[in-house]
């Protein structure tokens, strides 16, 4: 995985409705964004984000943990 911030990649995938547009915005391979999402989910030990062709959305756990993910993204800037 390239040197992308996993929290920022996660939030960008949510904001842009998927890992493909997030990868384009970050200028990295799609696999890097997928790995970032997986890393965040493993850190929180829960499925957090669903990515489909129709978009991306948070799971119920993701909705609860979003403020913590946002704080980690901000702290890592």
CATH pick for 6-75 out of 1.10.3720.10, 3.50.50.60, 2.40.160.40, 1.10.10.10:
1.10.10.10
pLDDT in tens, 20-59: 999 999 999 999 999 999 999 999 999 999 999 899 999 9
- Tokens matching residue 25: 């915005």
The pLDDT score that the predictor gives to residue 24 is: 97
Q: Where are the domains of the chain?
A: 6-75
* Of residues 32, 38, 33, 2, the one with CA closest to residue 16: 33
pTM of the shown model? 0.93
DSSP secondary structure, 6-34, as one string: HHHHHHHHHHTTSHHHHHHHHTS-HHHHH
pLDDT for the residue 2: 61
Taking only the tens place, the pLDDT of each residue in 1-19 is: 567 899 999 999 999 999 9
């Amino acid at each position: 995985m390239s040197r992308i911030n996993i929290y920022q990649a996660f939030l960008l995938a949510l904001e842009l409705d998927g890992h493909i547009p997030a990868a384009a915005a970050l200028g990295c391979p799609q696999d890097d964004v997928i790995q970032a999402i997986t890393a965040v989910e493993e850190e929180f030990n829960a499925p957090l984000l669903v990515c489909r062709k129709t978009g991306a959305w948070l799971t119920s756990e993701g909705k609860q943990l979003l403020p913590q993910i946002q704080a980690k993204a901000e702290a890592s800037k």
